[in-house]
Amino acid sequence: MARISLNPPRSLSLRLAKWYSRRAYGKVMEPTLVLGHHPRILRSYLGFEVKVGRWRALDPTLRQLAEMVPAAVIGCSWCMDFGYWHADKLGLPLEKISKVPDWRAHEDSFTEVERLVMEYAEAMTATPPTVTDELTESLRRHLSDAALVELTAMVAVENFRSRVNSAMGLHSQGFSDACAIPPRAVGS
């Protein structure tokens, strides 16, 4: 159950965000409703997300993995739910995506660069971060400088999303119900 009302005060920003959310995702996203309690944060955040959506240096599969690993580590069921739905929309293999929460037990399902991306995402999400020079150097053999910067930024963005959603008590909103393979419970 959300720790803040999902019925924020009405504002023009909220009305526009709800309209866009319904149009793009088929329903109003609960993080939008939480942020609706502070219209300036809502506007800033939505503008930022639009810009993040335009980043293109990182392969879409690697980007999806970079987003899902922090959500799994943090335990954000909302982000995992949405991540499965988004992976499905991108046409990524859901059998593979379903293994992300426990990827180390399924290493043979992932390429070397995918494993490195997930390891990097875990290391960035740790408190304090545990990214090493060796891990970064291994990634640099596969990624351009721009892609490495984008990877780092994507992991940081997902940490923000997952931590806000978890702190606000948001849980799965049912996005993955439309997917062929439902998300594995975090920690199972």
46, 70: one domain: no
- Quick one: pLDDT at residue 179? 73
- For the segment 18-74, what is each residue's pLDDT rounded down to a tens digit? 999 999 999 999 999 999 999 999 999 999 999 999 999 999 999 999 999 999 999
Query: Considering its fold, how many domains does the chain have in total?
Result: 2
Q: Is residue 20 within 8 Å of residue 45, measured between CB atoms?
A: no
32, 103: one domain: no
128, two tokens: 């304090």
Q: Is residue 185 part of a domain?
A: no
76, 117: one domain: yes
Using the CB atoms, write b or e for 89-127: b if 16+ within 10 Å: eeebebebbbbbbebeeeeebbeebbbbbbbbbbbbbee
Q: Is residue 84 within 8 Å of residue 67, measured between CB atoms?
A: no
Q: Sorting pLDDT into bands at 50, 70 and 90, what band is 186?
A: low
pLDDT of residue 8 exceeding 90:
yes
Q: How far is CA 121 from CA 60, 66, 179, in A?
A: 15, 6, 24
- For the segment 84-105, what is each residue's pLDDT rounded down to a tens digit? 999 999 999 999 999 999 999 9
89, 169: one domain: yes
158, 67: one domain: yes
122, 163: one domain: yes
pLDDT of residue 136 exceeding 60:
yes
Q: What is the CATH number of the domain that holds 97?
A: 1.20.1290.10
Residue 184, burial from CB neighbour count under 10 angstroms (0-12, 13-18, 19+): middle
Nearest in space to 187 (alpha carbons), one of 76, 57, 54? 76
Query: Which range of residues forms the domain containing residue 153?
Result: 60-178
47, 72: one domain: no
More confident residue, 30 or 186: 30
Q: Is residue 43 part of a domain?
A: yes
Say whether 168 sits in a helix, a strand or coil.
Answer: coil
44, 111: one domain: no
104, 169: one domain: yes
Maximum Cα interatomic distance, the chain, rounded to a whole number of Å? 50
